Structure 1
Amino acid sequence: MGKRNYYDVLGVNRNATDDEINRAFRQLAKKYHPDVSKEKDAEAKFKEVNEAYEVLSDPNKRRNYDQFGHAGNDPNSFSGFSGFSGFSGFSKGFSSGGDFEDIFSGGFGDIFENFFGGGAKKRRGFSNQPIKGKNVAARVTVTLKEQMFGKTVKLDLNVDKTCEACDGTGAKDPKKDIHTCTTCDGYGYVNIEQRSLFGVIQSQQPCPDCKGCGKVVTSKCPKCKGQCHYRGKEVVEIELPKSIYENQQLRIREKGNYGLNSGPRGDLYLEISVKPNKYFKRVNDNLHLDLPVSYLDALLGAKIKVPTFDGYVHLKLPANTKINSVFSIPNHGFLKVQHLADVVI
């Protein structure tokens, strides 16, 4: 079965803004995260959502996807020619690891040099560029008081960590077990010749033996089994801002999965939920309390004690106070903060 349309995966239309794509990703990541979801295929759906988000959140990848579909970001894809109508599509594999802009930046002369066996420039390491780690999602629950004053929380996360045993190389002994690929001579790609109506066409594709890295591992690391990373626990300490809204998302930079080839870590998306309080509730930036008073105090007036999260304060109740009257006590509610879709820490 082929891949689903990335827009359908996230449940957005093709004209969706970056904010709409981010919101859709957060909702689905929270729904299908393997650590919280009880659905049988949660892990597969989570990976599908993450893959769609990685493409649609990147302007270049999204542009390639809109023009060429899944093949637009697949270095192994090659569409070739379609009859006499000219080119039917290009893949990244035709250039030395660049994108579509790289192919066209040199003009049509460079294009035909690449296709018809011209002297293409070789660059070692087709895909050993630093790769950012994938994002992770989590949820934290706080009390209403903690929501008001902020709180330092500690989260136990399951993340892909760089293997310390092999320093992320995947080799048992990085000095002895990593060798230059003999298939591509360390360049990371190979030239492929295909016959067409226009003659023999030569294109470049990632090396099938080294997967474009230019290096091969002869003896894999026993800890990570050659994967360069492993799944492990990590404790992350986060300072929650004061007066943050419920269901507001925090994006904590570089607290997600570790990257490959010394790439940066992904981000942590944290969603806030608040426990209901028996007496208080938040309305916008105000703290509401229903306080019962006696009939005589309401009729004659009185000085009453009002509990707040800062302690008790005194309120002068005027005579002939009516039922459901509302009184305001300044400086005992929430800070006035802007309700943003994302708060970046």
Structure 2
Amino acid sequence: MAKRDYYEVLGVSRDVSAADLKKAYRRVAMKHHPDRNPGDEEAENKFKEASEAYEVLSDAQKRSAYDQFGHAGVDQSAGMGGGAGAGGFGSFSDIFGDVFGDIFGGGGRGRGGPSRGADLRYNLELSLEDAVRGTNVQIKVPTLVACDTCDGSGAKKGTSPKTCTTCGGIGQVRMQQGFFSVQQACPTCRGKGSIITDPCGSCHGQGRVEQTKKLSVKVPAGVDTGDRIRLSGEGEAGAEGGPAGDLYVEVHVKPHEIFQRDGADLYCEVPVDFVDAALGGELEVPTLDGRVKLKVPAETQTGKLFRLRSKGVTPVRGGARGDLMCRVVVETPVDLTGKQKELLKEFQATMKGGKNSPRQSSWFDGMKNFFGDMKI
């Protein structure tokens, strides 16, 4: 049975934000969770389907691949065995706690631990040559890194955070709402589970400081504008020693003075003087691999495309190398001398209308038909 579209499974649009995506998943997961529907195989399958959809769409890299290639783009990495998928259901109370935690100012299930740092994005401009061949670039990224003085704990050197006595280090407290018992973030430690009584002087208890990191980025051959390179763990450091987020390097290929890229193919315009276009000739044209000869047959017209096979781009995701498409532009001569003008007039006198200029002749015939045989 064919898989349903992940956005359809969660009932969201393709431009849904991360926050709204999470809310949509919670609604579907709560409705079909096996704890609420014991013995209901259809509900269990729908819960697994929603978990798989959320696992892919909540990951920026997987979501990008899914948006471009559908299920084929994520089938190798997405599965039903992770998180709350087929291998083990997240408990209903976990999802239920998430919803009410958000309503009452908390932040989901047990927050008694350091949180992951934010992901970062860096826009990388590349020349067409570097994008096609691949390269290594050095970048500078302003970010938050773990404080060296306190090793990211936020506490003064020689001290450590104290377990919160209000929540006992869990980061959550329970409150009674009628016949519901609802969890919310501990108001004393704000869900952290610990309190810093003697903060570090370098980071003022935050566990992180601002720093510009120098990173080396390996750009694979064949990347194009919009492609992203993920550097795991190079995002912002997590608060209080938490794991760092990721850095996403987004590629932007600068315009080229000769070539335009369309997928795996390259296009360029080749100016040809009208004598070579009429009589035929051989030209040198540029490629990314160097110059090659292009034979122009006699009577070539402007707009004629010549294909140079395998002179384009090898896509970053694999596949055959593209072609170079050369579009001929017949160039009218300028700055003519008196002698050259006389020769052209003599040449013009020898022209035999439609025989030498069939396109011009057919165009005038069309004009006559359009205006009802009006003399032009």
Do both share a fold (TM > 0.5)?
yes
- Aligned to 1:306, the other structure's residue is in SS state strand
Q: Which residue does 1:152 correspond to in 2? A: 136
Aligned counterpart for 2:164 among listed residues 174, 181, 190: 181
Structure 1 gaps of 5+ residues are 1-13, 22-51, 69-98, 106-124, 340-345
- Aligned to 1:171, the other structure's residue is in SS state coil
CA drift at 1:334: 1.0
Q: Which residue does 2:84 correspond to in 1? A: none
Distance 1:15 1:274, change over 3 A: same
Q: Compute the RMSD of aligned alpha carbons.
A: 3.6
Q: Which residue does 2:154 correspond to in 1? A: 170
One-letter identity of the residue aligned with 2:163: T
Distance 1:62 1:129, change over 3 A: farther
Q: Which residue does 1:136 correspond to in 2? A: 120
Deviations 1:249-283 (Å, cap 9, x if unpaired)? 34433321122455432222333222222222113
The within-5 A match list for 1:244-283 is 244-260=223-239, 262-283=241-262
Distance 1:297 1:192, change over 3 A: closer
1:155–1:235 contact (8 Å) kept in structure 2: yes
CA drift at 1:185: 4.6
1:159 and 1:212 mapped to 2: Cα distance? 24
The within-5 A match list for 1:222-261 is 222-260=201-239
Residues paired across the two proteins, number: 241
TM-score, with length taken from structure 1 = 0.58
Q: Which protein has the bigger helix share?
A: 2
Distance 1:277 1:217, change over 3 A: same
CA drift at 1:308: 1.4
1:188–1:211 contact (8 Å) kept in structure 2: yes
Q: Which residue does 1:36 correspond to in 2? A: none
- Aligned to 1:225, the other structure's residue is in SS state coil
Distance 1:300 1:160, change over 3 A: same
- Aligned to 1:290, the other structure's residue is in SS state strand
Structure 2 gaps of 5+ residues are 1-9, 31-89, 97-108, 319-376
- Aligned to 2:306, the other structure's residue is in SS state coil
2:260 and 2:172 mapped to 1: Cα distance? 62
More off after superposition, 285-294 vs 241-250: 241-250
Deviations 1:56-91 (Å, cap 9, x if unpaired)? 455xx65337899xxxxxxxxxxxxxxxxxxxxxxx
Q: Which residue does 1:16 correspond to in 2? A: 12
2:151–2:241 contact (8 Å) kept in structure 1: no
1:277 and 1:183 mapped to 2: Cα distance? 63
The within-5 A match list for 1:266-345 is 266-337=245-316
Q: Which residue does 1:27 correspond to in 2? A: none
1:276 and 1:191 mapped to 2: Cα distance? 59
Q: Which residue does 2:92 correspond to in 1? A: 101
Deviations 1:142-164 (Å, cap 9, x if unpaired)? 22222221232222212121111
CA drift at 1:204: 5.3
Distance 1:56 1:265, change over 3 A: farther
Distance 1:334 1:64, change over 3 A: same
Higher relative contact order (CA 8 A, sep 6+): 1
- Aligned to 1:291, the other structure's residue is in SS state strand
1:253–1:267 contact (8 Å) kept in structure 2: yes
1:63 equivalenced with 2:25 (yes/no): yes
Distance 1:258 1:317, change over 3 A: same
2:271 and 2:94 mapped to 1: Cα distance? 75
Distance 1:252 1:65, change over 3 A: farther
1:189–1:207 contact (8 Å) kept in structure 2: yes
Deviations 1:275-315 (Å, cap 9, x if unpaired)? 22222211332111211122332233222211112111112
One-letter identity of the residue aligned with 1:145: E
CA drift at 1:134: 1.0
1:126–1:213 contact (8 Å) kept in structure 2: no
Distance 1:214 1:318, change over 3 A: closer
Distance 1:223 1:157, change over 3 A: same
CA drift at 1:229: 1.2
Q: Who wins on radius of gyration, i.e. which is larger?
A: 2
1:104 and 1:328 mapped to 2: Cα distance? 58
2:121–2:248 contact (8 Å) kept in structure 1: yes
1:130–1:262 contact (8 Å) kept in structure 2: yes
CA drift at 1:15: 2.7
1:190 and 1:276 mapped to 2: Cα distance? 57
2:21 and 2:230 mapped to 1: Cα distance? 15
